[in-house]
Amino acid sequence: MKADSPVVFTRSDTPPYLVLARELLSTGSFTNGSTPEVFRTPAYPVFLIPGLLFCHVEIVTALIQIVLSSLTVYLVYKTALVIFKDDTTARAASLLYAFEQLSIVYSLILLTETLFTFALMCFIFYVVKLLKTPSMRYALAAGIFAAMCSYIRPVALYLSTATVIFLGAYLFFLKTRLKKKRLFIYTAAILLISISLTGVWQMRNFKETGYSKFSSVSDFNLYFYHRVSIIAKKEKLSFYQVQDTEERKFKQIVKELGFVGSLAYMQKEALNTIKGNINVFVPIYIKGIATVLLSPGATEYAQLLSYKGRTDIFSGTLDSSILQVFKEALSQTPFLLTINVCFGLLMVLYYFFMVIASVNIKKTDPACFFMFLVLAYFLLLSGGVTGYGRFRHPVMPVISILGGYGVVLILARIKTIKSLK
């Protein structure tokens, strides 16, 4: 196995980003051909431009992402140090993240993961600093990075709102009016900055297309993934078979309703389907969250290293049970399955360290609770058939921070046991 071509640094989502980056570079407009783009957001296409300028987009972008991934390791260290005030815990957390399998492989792949996780970690760091030593500069930085996260991946659009609700709840536990007033002002600053910055893009979308939302990706996922998964389950058909049929039908809907009307139709139809089949939707959604948590990530390494055998061993989970897919992979690709199992065991170890920390953390520390808020936010929004292992990448710094504390607790326990012998 070897990475013998720049193609191994790309995935199916990479070409659309490259098209948008080239359009920005050549025309200065964020368009897909002649059509204004409202599905993808501009941050990652802008990030790809240096690589295009040097005519080696894969290599240059991968090098920049390696630097960002290294900086994320440092941010994990600094954040853990602020939360736990212990250098050993901070070092353990940074080591856990440095060797985390997804963070390594995605630093080499032209997707949003590395840039997004870096921006998210900056946001987390400044919110934690705000909780520990309140300051307007931390609030301003948190608001800016919250907006930046949204411009990289729209899934973060409501992260600032969730954070503001969390900080608002924390206000009631502060003892003095001065502290409450100060945190209220800082919380309002985060919300105002993030909403203002993302609002600029919504205004652009409305001006260019009449579509007033930040991105159409949520409408698309609701209609072509969540809705289709329900139909496929009820009619006992292949997910991709139903999706292909619905895509052909939708072309006619676009002709009849127009661009903006078709997007509104997607959301309405998808939500109606979900509401009418909640008993079918919930198990599918939970299965997606489990997939995000449990997908080991070895397949990405196999693709990166140009593994000649079959690499899509887990694609069948859309239509089959995890056990059925496991049995099929065991018979067809035992080597890759073995590597995935090894990666999975390492991943479970991270979760074990996090659980140990969760049981022992200070129940009054808002920074620790904020870590769990971020973890819950991304996991809850990553369910359904859109759930892939790569969507775990943004929360791995959080798991590593908590896991680092778990490692220190375990080492302290071992030391205590040895001293008693």
Q: Tens digit of pLDDT for each residue in 294-323? A: 888 888 888 888 777 666 656 555 666 667
pLDDT at 154: 98
Alpha carbon of residue 49 to chain centroid:
22
The conformation of residue 37, written as its DSSP 8-state character, comes to P
Q: Tens digit of pLDDT for each residue in 116-154? A: 999 999 999 999 999 999 999 999 999 999 999 999 999
Q: How far apart are CA 304 and CA 306, in angstroms?
A: 6
- Report residue 188 as tokens: 């309002």
- Report residue 285 as tokens: 């959604």
Give whole-number Cα distances, 347 to 99, 187, 350, 392, in Å: 11, 35, 5, 11
Q: How far apart are CA 295 and CA 71, in angstroms?
A: 25
pLDDT at 7 over 80: no
pLDDT at 335: 80
pLDDT bracket for residue 420 (50, 70, 90): confident
Q: How far apart are CA 325 and CA 17, in angstroms?
A: 31
Q: How far apart are CA 156 and CA 147, in angstroms?
A: 8
How confident is the model over 273-281, as a mean pLDDT?
97
Q: How far apart are CA 165 and CA 102, in angstroms?
A: 30
pLDDT bracket for residue 1 (50, 70, 90): very low
Give whole-number Cα distances, 32 to 45, 96, 219, 270, 417, in Å: 12, 40, 18, 25, 63
pLDDT at 4 over 50: no
Are 219 and 270 a contacting pair, CB within 8 Å?
yes
pLDDT bracket for residue 54 (50, 70, 90): very high
Q: Tens digit of pLDDT for each residue in 200-217? A: 999 999 999 999 999 999
Q: What percent of the chain has pLDDT over 70?
A: 94
Give whole-number Cα distances, 308 to 10, 19, 330, 340, in Å: 17, 28, 17, 16
pLDDT at 312: 64
How confident is the model over 9-34, as a mean pLDDT?
93
pLDDT at 2 over 50: no
Which ranges of 210-277 would DSSP assign to H, the alpha helix? 217-221, 228-235, 239-276
- Report residue 292 as tokens: 């995000």
How confident is the model over 37-52, as a mean pLDDT?
98
- Report residue 289 as tokens: 């969250």
Lowest mean pLDDT among 343-352, 360-369, 407-416: 360-369
pLDDT at 414 over 50: yes
How confident is the model over 397-416, as a mean pLDDT?
97
How confident is the model over 246-267, as a mean pLDDT?
94
Are 167 and 183 a contacting pair, CB within 8 Å?
yes
pLDDT at 387: 80
276 by Cβ neighbours in 10 Å (0-12 / 13-18 / 19+) ranks as exposed
| Cβ-based neighbours of 88, under 8 Å, separated by 6 or more | 408
Phi and psi (nearest 5°) for 122?
-65, -45
Average pLDDT, the chain: 92
Residue 18 identity (one-letter amino acid): L
| Cβ-based neighbours of 221, under 8 Å, separated by 6 or more | 384, 386
* Domain locations in the chain as residue ranges: 6-215+296-420, 218-276
Q: Tens digit of pLDDT for each residue in 315-360? A: 555 666 667 766 776 777 788 888 888 999 999 999 999 999 999 9
Q: How far apart are CA 271 and CA 264, in angstroms?
A: 11
Are 79 and 117 a contacting pair, CB within 8 Å?
no
How confident is the model over 254-273, as a mean pLDDT?
95
